[in-house]
Structure 1
Amino acid sequence: MKPQIVTFLIKCPDQKGLLAKITNFFYERSFNIVSCQQYVNATENTYFMRIRLDAEGAEISRVVLENSFVELSEPLQIDWSVYYGDDRQNVAIMVSHTSHNLYDLLSRNKEGLLDCNVKLIISNHDKLRHIAEMFNVPYYYLPVTKDTKEAQEAQVMKLLDDNEIDLTIMARYMQILSSNFINKYPERIINIHHSFLPAFQGANPYKKAYERGVKLIGATAHYATEDLDEGPIIEQDVEPVTHESTPFTLKRIGADIEKLVLARAVKNHLNHQIIVSGNRAIVFPEAGE
């Protein structure tokens, strides 16, 4: 039987004895520590921890565990969150014209490489419905114009709430979300931008990259914030290109990078490997899970 894994993400002011106090808390409650990852930002005097626990043998309810941890956390000024391994997250994918990210995410999910429930796909165009049907995922076509943006976003938010969506993935959804929308789901919207941010923000980055004569082409996955393409960066990658590259070849190369970067970012989020601090994302590597 697969062990019940509990994951705590912890952020607090750095101070002596943190590791001992936290690990001893779990030892006293019969948890087995599977992995413990730490990072100290000396510049900001901030301590980060991702600790994974095997709950077998720990005769304690979730409510009692969390209430007890509050007692530990308050004097240490710990900002924390906890996740339980048997709670599978619900995911929505938003997309416009291009299919590569959508198809890749659905394929990985079907193969068990992304541990989540893809509950629905939302698009402002109807051209990718056939992909949703291939994977038997409900597809909602919600067209949008400048005049209907507010009403369309209200429809989208209702779908997300009705389906209890934990994470929304903007897999090249080519609409700018309103502040009202983004602020309702903080750190729960991942966007893929088809350039190596902070270079070439906004629209048509491949055309801008061609005109600039870049020697590297890249992609960036980040949490969506009110500031366009400036949210906490989760994953990035690049590929070398030459002066012979055209806007078309840059776009083709970039599409492959986008798929890998977005899939890694989504997996990091689903595995609870990310702690956001200000506008930075602290991303812990997989620890043998």
Structure 2
Amino acid sequence: MTGTQGDGRPGAPRATAVPFLLRWSVLLVAVVCWELAARAQDSVYFPPPLRITRHARDLWFSGPVGHLFLTSAAVETLLPSLGRMAAGFALAAVAGITLGMAMGRSRAAYALCNPVLQFARAVPPPALAPVFVVVFDFGTPMQVASIAFSAVWPVLVNSAEGARATDPLRLEVAAVLRLTAPERLWFLILPSALPRIFAGLRLSLSLSLILMVFSELLPGSDNGIGFTLTDAQTRSDLLTVWSALLLLGALGYLLNTVLLAVEKRLAGPRTSAGRTA
């Protein structure tokens, strides 16, 4: 029968498992090749992935169950970094969506602000580090401000473009129905702009992770993943360096997966996951 296996069981689990295995096959092959090559060469600079994973587990995820398996080193390393990243990303998201929607619905505001916007987004984030150090001094406020300022532009640009792309016919229907400005924004403009907004949020999330690490590499930092990288490099602890890189990759994948799930829930299946700025 269609949709069932030979023993009569539904074929949906098999149909779901095949794309899952294909999706992870390239990574699995790469890890196996790395493992075999690293064991053959026995180089201190490129340890085997299994050894890196065991070291990361012992370093950060071998704590008690009551602490969600987090060790004291994990609390000192992960939580400060995630807190700075979450604060910077939240500020960038709120400011970018608010300003972007306002710019996108006003032709005059868009024409006036667009040159400044294009100039500001073209400035490399590391080049602004001295400015933030002078304004905020070293510490968490400087790190959060640098993350928020540099991560706001993808959200702002995509929100503005999404608001500008609202179907004019729908706006005319809203005018005929005498919807108020807040009602048009909430029921018409914002849903229409959601795909572009989430495209900007995904870019902003990636930037936030990168800028979080960069801000913790600067002098004055005493905790976080970036500080752990610098400290391990100073001590020539290459195993911890590789473990931190593995942790950053896992965090990036996990956070992007969560954001995609939120996008699917809010924007629906019509949103294209591959749409970019």
Instruction: Give the structure with the higher percent strand.
Output: 1
TM-score (norm 1): 0.25
Looking at CA atoms only, which structure, 1 or 2, has the larger radius of gyration? 2
TM-score (norm 2): 0.26
Higher RCO (CA-CA < 8 Å; seq separation 6+)? 2
